Structure 1
Amino acid sequence: MNLQNGKPSDDELYREYELAGNHLSSNASADSVSNCGLHLRPAGSVPSIRSVYTPRQNDVKSKSYLVGSPSTGCGTLLGSKELSRIFPNHSVNVQIVTWNMNCPRVQQKYPEDLSDLIFPSSMNNSPSIFAICLQEIPPEKQELLVRLQAAIGPQHVLFSHAFHGTLALAVFISRELIWYTSVPQVSAVTTRTAVRTKGAVAMCFLLFGTSMLFLSSHFKASQDRVNMRVQDYQDVVTSLNLPKIGLSRGYRPSENLLNRFDIVFWAGDLNFRIDRSRAVMDNVLRSYRPVCTYDNLSGADQLTNVQAQGRAFQTFEEGRIKFLPTYKFDLDSTVYDTSDKQRVPAYTDRILYKTRKKGDVTCANYDSIDSIRCSDHRPVYGVYSVVLKPGCDSIALAAGLFHRDVYIAGNQRRALRFDLVRKSRKPTKSKVCLLQ
């Protein structure tokens, strides 16, 4: 599928659904994999007798998979040969999105169509993995998942999700990857007593032999609470229980949570502020282009400073910030806070990453999404290339696990949306009466 301005065109999407519509019936049998939409193919693809997922007879006879040799990884489902077949470059593209939705605090509605959140205009290609990190989510959690699935489309499935109070984390992966992952594990930490609005929710799993940890966090607010935010970080690192006992095969043993994984993505409303006055910030915003704004403020960035001091996130990296502060906006506006509090614009919404081996993650894009303005925060997204290594089949395989109910509901809604688009484009018959 070709992407125009980061998104497929309506015509392409509708053609996709004309090809796939029969597979989205809610009456599909529960034991039929094909009815889960796994036979859908993108518009413009050409059916062939032999596809990349059609093995030769000799391959079928020779593959041992679950009883393969864990030591060499050869001939196994997660071994080097299979990894090279699925990912010839031994790397996978991952997109992280973080957004404080600001929904519980005010009666604020969020978009029915979340396509701008999933496919920002500056993005060109669709990744294999989406990790959606949300804070201050609305109470209708299932509806939120369905809207995300409808926006992402039929090429990806909801692999797993976790909610904790007003925090959410949802991971969508390409359909073909559900056979190459371990069982997903989740955990959560509350850092605000009796109220689950601050803390973190996390998920880990293995893709082939690469262990990954994703975190969605919301730290304590206010300009001067730097020490409390540092404490939030430390509480999360010391309290999260991942991987679980009995499901630790494939992960590295370590007392430090962050050292148990090959790759860690930590995103959220971390609430670190800029130590400048509102007047100074307004002057900077007027004087510099967005791409240069942060460079002139980095010395006043609380997050950068605590990293340099070794107090929090000291082993993490971040893509270059070339966008404007993401907080705090007037609702449905491009104007920063005009309330009596006159909060200082800040880069509160961040995505950081950590690797066991240097160079295993490359940041391809890091930007905010200005088209979504229903919250006082702008969403932030990052696209990353992650190096993969082969694994062995002795781990707890997910074996095709995904949330089929969300997949069908989301794609039915998506199909209906494009059906309405098609009908709206039909030419109407002229009502002009011609007199002879």
Structure 2
Amino acid sequence: MEESEEQKSDSTADRRSCVGESFRLHMVTWNVATADPPDDVSSLLDLSSCKKPDLFVVGLQEVYSGPLRFISDIAFDDPWSQQFMSTLAPQGYFKVSSIRMQGLLLLFFSKMDHVPFIRDIQATYTRTGVFGYWGNKGAVSIRLSFYGHMLCFLNCHLAAHMKYATERVDEFEYILDTQTFDSPNAQRVLDHRLVFWFGDLNFRIQDHGMHFVRSCINDRTFHLLWSKDQLTAMKKKEAILREFHEGPLDFQPTYKFDLNSDTYDSRPYRTWFGFNGKKRKPAWTDRILWRLGPEDTRPEEESDGSSGKSAAGDREFPLMIRQESYASDMAYGISDHKPVTATFTLELKKMYETPLVRLYAEGDWSADMDAMVVYSPLQPFRSSSWDWIGLYKVGFCSVSDYITFTWVKDDEVAFNEELTQLYVSKEEIPVLGGECVLCYYSSTLGCLIGISEPFKVHQSNIALEEGLVTEQINELDKATAS
């Protein structure tokens, strides 16, 4: 792996002063081979570091998608999503977006503080399996504006087997050509300021024999294998691949392992004609790469609420990326792949620092009386009759976790140029109370654009009376039993 090409982690941005703030991004890619999630995924998420990540991106391949499971996953979050959400929500993270295409799953999480500044969220997918009609191979992507900077995350599962290196590149180019977004300035993947390309890319180690590859792994002389890595070799031929950077592969190849072990493939594998005694050669199939686009990439227009500036250009609002870590996690054995993680520092100048909407709960709230929500736009944005404000318990982990909601246009009580009041029926307020927040959801932008400060919903008199009655019944039962 050449120093001049593969280890330029900061690209053009490294030579440019970037007066701004730093944000930590942690990424995971893992081919889970249809296994259910382990009981603990915390070691994958860098949660023990002194500075916890601001953003998490998790890309999985070969998530189990049998007919019964897939149908249930349409109605409910799949077990992998549930596991990551249950791990990250108590730490103060929110699931901003997700997309599933059969076995491909992509999840994007953020600290709650950043959520009102993540806008213009869109997700899409591309099938490449079985002539493009089957989704066992292909890509899923999530694009968004983060403080005005356009980011795109592309999770791929490309064609398998040693001899299909060229086909893998063709699939990648097909994905780049066909994935489009409803945006005037970032319609395609490569139009975004920063693109991450990751997943089970399935590139193998060519030419070297099994004995030499395993000797290099045992001796941890990984650099002796880099020149025969297919992705590294294809970069010399394909201009589009040279635009993507990758940190050094200073971790052992992540494929193929015996299940529940650190032992590389030791068993014959099944073919159409029976068993083949040949073992699979280890390879770095699981990768995370990135591309920092040219400086003339423009953010979204201010009028649609996705950016604070319309045509200032990236020179005024620079973005720098630096990779802090790139490693495999050998602790997990449920799959024949080991997960790969990477941590990045994004240093950027924000294009906006205020949310689009400010909102708060007026007066005391309880289920004993009707309540009022007050909101005011802080910046112009395209409102819609489908916008709504939801009531959430503190610690909620996705936009669908609301206790109740009210339509912004339908439930207006009073408004002027600065403030709008909305009515909330007492029947919709939880009788047990608790710490809550209000969130404004923009259907046009597909995201939350304002979050209130936490406030207390008081326990209702009905709940207090019912609690007292329950306590008296329990005491009577105890007395009777004695």
Common topology (TM > 0.5): yes
AA aligned opposite 1:109: D
* Distance (whole Å) between structure 2 residues aligned to residue 394 and residue 308 of structure 1: 47
1:399–1:315 CA distance, 2 compared to 1 (3 A): farther
Report 1:396-407 matches (<5 A): 403-405=398-400
The answer to whether residue 239 in structure 2 is matched with residue 331 in structure 1 is no
RMSD: 2.7
**1:36-59 alpha-carbon deviations (Å, 9 max, x no partner):** xxxxxxxxxxxxxxxxxxxxxxxx
Counterpart of 1:116?
43
Whole-Å separation in 1 of the counterparts to 2:36 and 2:81: 15
Checking the alignment, whether the CA contact within 8 Å between 1:327 and 1:378 is kept in structure 2 is: yes
Cα distance in 2 for residues equivalent to 1:353 and 1:400: 36
Does residue 187 (structure 1) correspond to residue 124 (structure 2)? The answer is: yes
Question: Could you tell me how far 1:284 is from its partner in structure 2?
Answer: 1.6
Aligned pair in 2 of structure 1 residues 144, 205: CA closer, same or farther (>3 Å)?
Answer: same
Asked if 1:147 is matched to 2:83, the reply is yes
Q: How far has the Cα of 1:161 moved from its partner?
A: 0.2
Structure 1 residues 261 and 386, CA gap change in structure 2 (3 angstroms): same
Aligned residues of 1:182 and 1:395 also touching (Cα < 8 A): no
Query: How far 1:406 moved relative to its partner?
Result: 6.2
Asked if the contact 2:19–2:348 (Cα under 8 Å) also holds between the matched residues in 1, the reply is no
- Quick check: 1:382 aligned with 2:314? no
Which amino acid counterpart does residue 281 of structure 2 have in structure 1? Answer: V
C-alpha displacement at 1:400, in angstroms? 9.3
Determine the C-alpha separation between the residues in 2 that align with 1:270 and 1:312: 15
Write the deviation string for residues 111-160 of structure 1: whole angstroms up to 9, x where unpaired.
Answer: 03221222377x55321100000000124541321210112233100000
Task: Indicate yes or no: 2:23 matched with 1:92.
Answer: yes
* Counterpart contact for 1:210–1:389, Cα < 8 Å: no
1:186 deviates by 0.6
RCO comparison, higher one (Cα < 8 Å, 6+): 1
Q: Equivalent residue for 1:363?
A: 323
Deviation string for 1:255-287 (max 9, x for gaps)? xx343111111110000000122122122223x
Ranges in structure 1 where 5+ consecutive residues have no aligned partner: 1-86, 409-436
**Alpha-carbon distance, 1:179 to partner:** 0.7
Structure 2 residue 106 is matched with structure 1 residue 169: yes
Structure 1 pair 157–400 and aligned structure 2 pair: CA distance change class (3 A): farther
Partner residue, 1:27: none
Contact 1:146 1:407 in 2 (8 A): no
- One-letter amino acid matched to 2:196: F
1:273/1:258 CA distance change after superposition, 3 Å: same
Q: What is the identity, as a one-letter code, of the residue corresponding to 1:152?
A: L
Q: Which residue of 2 aligns with 1:48?
A: none
In 1, Cα distance between the equivalents of 2:204 and 2:401? 37
SS, match of residue 231 in structure 2: helix
SS of 1:335's partner is coil
**Secondary structure, in 3 states, of the residue corresponding to 1:191?**
strand
Cα deviation, 1:270-329, whole Å, max 9, x if unaligned, reads 00000122122122223x22xx41x11111010011112125522000112211000000
Aligned mates of 1:396, 1:198 — CA distance in 2: 37
Matched, 1:225 2:164: yes
Equivalenced residues, count: 305
Q: Using the alignment, how far apart are the partners of 2:286 and 2:120 within structure 1?
A: 29
Change (3 A) 1:350 1:407: farther
Aligned with residue 129 of structure 1, among 25, 47, 55: 55
Corresponding residue for 1:204? Answer: 143
User: Residue 225 of structure 1: SS of its match in structure 2?
Assistant: helix
Is 1:280 the counterpart of 2:208? The answer is no
Q: 2-side partners of 1:178 and 1:258: how far apart? A: 22
CA distance in 1, matches of 2:283, 2:402: 36
Percent same amino acid among aligned pairs? 28
Letter in 1 for 2:87: A
Partner of 1:9: none
1:315 alignment partner, one of 218, 232, 243: 243
CA contact (8 A) 1:146 1:406 kept: no
Secondary structure at the aligned position of 2:214 is classed as: helix
User: Could you say which residue in structure 1 is the equivalent of 2:174?
Assistant: 235
Query: Contact 1:117/1:372 (CA < 8 Å) preserved in 2?
Result: no
Whether the 8 Å CA contact 1:157–1:407 is kept in 2: the answer is: no
Residue pair 1:149, 1:407 contacting (<8 A) in 2 also? no
Contact 1:265 1:351 in 2 (8 A): yes
> Unaligned stretches of 5+ in structure 2?
1-17, 269-277, 296-318, 353-378, 391-396, 404-482
The higher radius of gyration belongs to: 2
- Give the TM-score normalised by the residue count of structure 2: 0.59
SS at match of 1:317: coil
